[in-house]
Amino acid sequence: MKMPTVNTENGTLFLHPDRNLAMELVRATEAAAIRAVPFIGRGDKNAADKAAVDAMRKFLGTVNFDGVVVIGEGEKDEAPMLYNGEHVGNGRGPACDIAVDPIDGTSLTAAGRQNAISMIAVSDRGSMLDASSVFYMDKIVAGHEAVGIVDIRKPIGENLRALAKAKGKPIGEMVVAVLDRPRHAQLIEDIRTAGAGTRIMLDGDVAGGINAARYGTRIDMCVGIGGSPEGVATACAIKALGGLIQGRLVASSDDERQKGLDAGLKFDYIYEADELVSSNNTYFVATGVTDGGLVSGVRRKGPTIHTESIVLRGRSGTVRRVIGEHLADKWIGELDFGNVGDHA
């Protein structure tokens, strides 16, 4: 039996997050994904995000935990958000840090493209790096073969050759996921010059990083500058996969750099997995909004709505897939699937 730990903030007792929390979190990501469906391909990413945020917030309010949003979403473009510092859950049960993105890939959703997911990452209270004051992070993610071999400080070609050798495959068969951004033009050229192929992502480097760390996928490495919140969330998943993640904060201005320094963040410094998330008691949960390499998107099949989710637990090192079949009539309305807070 686990012994309770004293919460020194208010003198109450709480337990660390346990395995029962996972299914409660899946309900929240499923609701957000389903609620975003009417906005797929409609060109309005903020409307999609708002629908997903509202659904996720309502479901999280019923969960037996005291969650604090350490990594929220929306700061970059003033979209609707579950904001940093917001308390979620019913206040009873384990005290947790939360990284949340009701839709990772709002632009993908708005355009009707693949790889949009709804995701939540959870760890023990006080264990997540609060990198919210600095939007971007240069990251490298790979599987367990990369541990002790790959280092973000080395040239990408050197890392690729070392990882190819460790994996026992020709470098010509290596595939690297990179966000499609002008800032990555030289990085992409260097990857191809080294002899490897690229998988160019329009958005959604959380899924790219997880696929790079999972065994048996087509992605061997995920690199480049993406969101710092996504880096922390990915680290929660990597704890379950035994892979490698390193991150280096990138300030877009002197003012942002100073805000980061004032918040206690380090620049010109490599954050390892245990610094991004110091606890091994982590959960990462994602439900597909649109189809992708990590999970399939929401689908309407006759009277049912089908969802696919992935659940990764750091403590046990397990990866589970959850297939949901939801009676569509319970999500009242053909277009908006109804009042999600009362169903699922």
Distance of CA 91 to the CA centre of its chain: 24
Query: Minimal CA–CA distance to 207: which of 83, 312, 124, 132?
Result: 312
Query: Minimal CA–CA distance to 311: which of 15, 27, 2?
Result: 27
Per DSSP, 271 falls in state: E
Binding-site residue ranges for substrate = 104-106, 136, 181-183, 203-205, 227
| 113 and 160, same domain (yes or no) | no
Per DSSP, 290 falls in state: S
| 166 and 116, same domain (yes or no) | no
What is the domain range of residue 118? 19-126+282-330
How many other C-beta atoms lie within 10 A of the C-beta of residue 43?
A: 11
Residue 252 lies in a domain: yes
| 270 and 307, same domain (yes or no) | no
pLDDT value at residue 9: 42
Binding-site residue ranges for Mn(2+) = 49, 73, 101, 104, 230
Cα 297 to Cα 17, 32, 307: the distances in Å are 28, 12, 7
φ/ψ of 9, rounded to 5, equals -75, -40
3-state SS class at 172? helix
What residue type is assigned to position 156 of the chain? I
CATH (domain of 211): 3.40.190.90
| 271 and 148, same domain (yes or no) | yes
| 261 and 315, same domain (yes or no) | no
Tally the domains of the chain: 2
| 151 and 39, same domain (yes or no) | no
| 84 and 209, same domain (yes or no) | no
Boundary residue ending a domain (240, 260, 276): 276
What residue type is assigned to position 261 of the chain? L
Determine the Cα angle at 122 with ends 208 and 274, to 5°.
Answer: 70
Residue 146 lies in a domain: yes
pLDDT along the chain (344 residues), means of 10: 39 54 90 94 92 90 88 54 80 89 91 94 94 93 97 98 97 97 98 97 90 94 94 94 96 96 96 96 95 93 94 92 90 46 40
Residue 213 lies in a domain: yes
Read off the pTM: 0.86
| 162 and 58, same domain (yes or no) | no
Residue 3 lies in a domain: no
Binding-site residue ranges = 49, 73, 101, 104-106, 136, 181-183, 203-205, 227, 230
